[in-house]
A and B are shown apart, each in its own frame.
Chain A
Amino acid sequence: MTEPMATPPRKLKIATVSLAGCFGCHMSFLDIDERLLPLLDLVEFDRSPLTDIKHCGPCDIGLIEGGVCNAENVHVLREFRAQCRVLVALGACAVNGGLPAQRNHLAVGDVLQQVYLTGHGLAAGSQIPNDPELPLPLNQVHPVHEVVRIDHFLPGCPPSGDAIWAFLNDLIASREPRLGHGLLHYD
C-alpha cells in the first residue's frame, strides 16, 4: 500500500462587490480580524473592492453587498450570477433594498432635481449629470433577489463579523448556513 499523495485542497475562489451598498458589510467582513489569515489559507479572492481584478472570473462564492439602484448594478450583478456557483446576498440592502429603498416612494426625477438643480449650495448653472459614462438610476431600488437568483441570504445592517465568519465557515464546509440567536439580526 502506498500512502496517497497529500494534495493540498484547491483554494475556493471568492468574489465580493458592493452595489448600492455603503461598504459597511465589507468593513464587517474585515471585522473577523486575525481570522482573515486562516481564511486566506482556504480561499483566494477574485474580483473584490479589496483586489485589483476588474471582472469576475469563475468563482465558488460571490458575496453581494447593496441593493440594485442603477443600470451598472444590474450588469455587475448579472456578471456575478453568471460566474459564481453560490451567490450570497450580504446585508440588509442586498436582502430587501435596505435604507436606500426609502427613496422608492419618491419619483427619481424629483430626487435628482432636488439634489442637482434646486438644492442648497449649488453653483449657478448646475445641471443633473447627463454624461453617458454615468449609469442611469433605476426608478426604484430593488433587493438583489428581484434581479437574479440568490442562493443564500445573510441579513444585518451590517451582519456582524462573527455572523459572517460562521456563515462562511458553513459555506466552505458545504453545510447549510445556520445563524443562532444573537447572530441573526436585521438592524
Chain B
Amino acid sequence: MTTPSPPASPPTFLLDGQPVPFTPGQTVMQAAYAAGRYIAHLCWHPDFSAHGSCKLCTVQANGRLATGCTLAAAEGMEVHTQTPELQDKRRTLLQLLFVEGNHFCPSCEKSGNCQLQATAYEAGMLTPHFDHFFPARPVDASHPEVLLDFNRCILCELCVRASRDVDGKHVFALSGRGTQSHLIVNSPTGRLADTDFAASDRAADICPVGVILKKRVGFAVPIGQRRYDAQPASAVDVASPARDNA
C-alpha cells in the first residue's frame, strides 16, 4: 500500500459516452442504477443478487457482449447500451419472451403496470414476430388472497429469490429443463394454498409480469394513471413501491 493520500475521486467507466462512478466490486448495472442511469432489465432488481437470465441488460463493453448485471465495472471501461445491434438483440429477446408465454395484455390486470410490457414498448416492439408456444398451464387460484397464472412467467426467479432470501419461506422454485422450465410452488400438493405464503410477503409484490396477482384488486387503477402510462420503463425506478394494488 502506498502512503495514505486524500480521498481520490472514485473510479469511473463510460456508459454510452458519459462517465459513471463506481466503487470496486460493483457491477456495471449496480453502478449505473446508483447513478440514476437506466439499462434495460427484467430479472435484475437492486434488492437481490444478479440472476443473468433475461439477458436484456446485455451491453457491449470493450468490444464484447456481456450482461451488465454480472459484469464487474472497471476503470475506464467503455460500455455501450444503445448500438443498433444491441437494440435489435434486445427487441428479439423480448419477442422470444412474448411468444413463450400467453401475454394477452388486453385482459391482463397487470397491463400498464407490467415491466415486460413497458420494456417492450420502449424497445419499439410492434410484433412478437415468432410462432407462439401457447402454453397451457393451469391457473392456481387455491390461495385465498393470491392468484398464480403460470403462462405469463418469464422465469426471472425474482419470486424465488424474494421468498428464499427475505423471509426464508422458499415458496417458489423453477422446475423442468429447456423449454419445459417452469415455475412451481414448493408444497406437497404443488398448490399455493398449501404453503405459508402471505399476500404481505415480499415475493407477492416482486413479479415484473402478471404471474403473481393479488385477488380482488385488479383493474383498480384507471387507464392513464398506471405505473407506465405516463413514463417509459427507463424513467420508472423498479424499486419504487408498485401502485397496481392501490
Min distance, Cβ A145 to any Cβ of chain B, angstroms: 7
Does B22 belong to the interface (CB within 8 Å)?
no
Question: Of the 9-residue stretches A8-16, A79-87, A125-133, A153-161, which lies at the interface with chain B?
Answer: A153-161
Shortest distance between the CB of A171 and any CB in chain B (Å): 13
Asked whether, in the complex, the Cβ of A98 is within 8 Å of the Cβ of B104, the reply is yes
> What DSSP secondary structure best describes chain A's contact surface?
mixed
A154: which of B126, B129, B132 is its contact (CB, 8 Å)?
Answer: B126
A89's closest neighbor in chain B, by CB?
Answer: B127
A78 close to chain B: CB less than 8 A = no
B128 touches A184 (CB 8 A): no
B7 at the interface (CB under 8 A from A): no
A127 to chain B, nearest CB (A): 28
Q: Is B108 an interface residue (CB 8 A)?
A: yes
| Alpha-carbon gap, A99 to B105, bound state (A) | 9
B24 sits at the interface (CB 8 A):
no
Confirm or deny: B134 has a beta carbon within 8 angstroms of a beta carbon on chain A: yes
Contact A186 B134, CB 8 Å, known A99-B106, A155-B126: no
Of A102, A146, A153, A184, the contact of B104 (CB 8 Å cutoff): A102
Which residues of B, 118-132, contact A by the 8 Å Cβ criterion? 120-122, 124, 126-129, 131-132
Interface size, chain B (Cβ < 8 Å): 26
CA distance A68 to B105 in the complex (A): 19
Q: Is B239 at the interface (CB under 8 A from chain A)?
A: no
Within 8 Å by CB of B134, from A92, A99, A105, A185, lies A105
> B117 near A: Cβ within 8 Å?
yes
Question: Interface of chain B, helix or strand or loop or mixed?
Answer: loop
Verify A101–B132 contact, CB threshold 8 A.
Answer: yes
Among B98, B120, B132, chain A packs the most CB atoms within 10 A around the CB of: B132
Decide: A181 near B132, CB < 8 A? Known: A95-B127, A102-B102: no
Is there contact, CB below 8 Å, between B106 and A155? no
Shortest Cβ distance from B229 into A: residue: A182
CA distance A64 to B104 in the complex (A): 19
B136 touches A187 (CB 8 A): no
Query: In angstroms, how far is the closest chain A Cβ from the Cβ of B31?
Result: 27
Q: A92-B106, A99-B104 are in contact. Are A153 and B136 (CB under 8 A)?
A: no
**B27: interface (CB < 8 Å):** no
Given contacts A153-B127, A155-B127, A179-B126, whether A92 and B105 have CB atoms under 8 Å apart is yes
A104 at the interface (CB under 8 A from B): yes
A181-B232 in contact (CB<8A): yes
Question: Which of B111, B128, B135 has the most chain A CB within a 10 Å cutoff?
Answer: B128
Contact across chains for A157 and B128 when beta carbons are under 8 A apart: no
Q: Within 8 Å CB of B136, what residues of A?
A: 104-105
Minimal beta-carbon separation of A107 from chain B (angstroms): 10
- Pick from A98, A185, A186 the residue with the most CB of B within 10 Å: A186
* B240 at the A interface (CB under 8 A): no
- Chain A, 124-149, CB within 8 A of any chain B CB: 140, 142-143, 145-146
A186-B106 contact in complex given A95-B127, A154-B126, C-beta closer than 8 Å: yes
Q: Which A-B residue pairs are the 10 nearest by beta carbons?
A: A105-B136, A157-B106, A153-B127, A186-B105, A187-B111, A153-B126, A187-B105, A104-B134, A187-B106, A184-B121
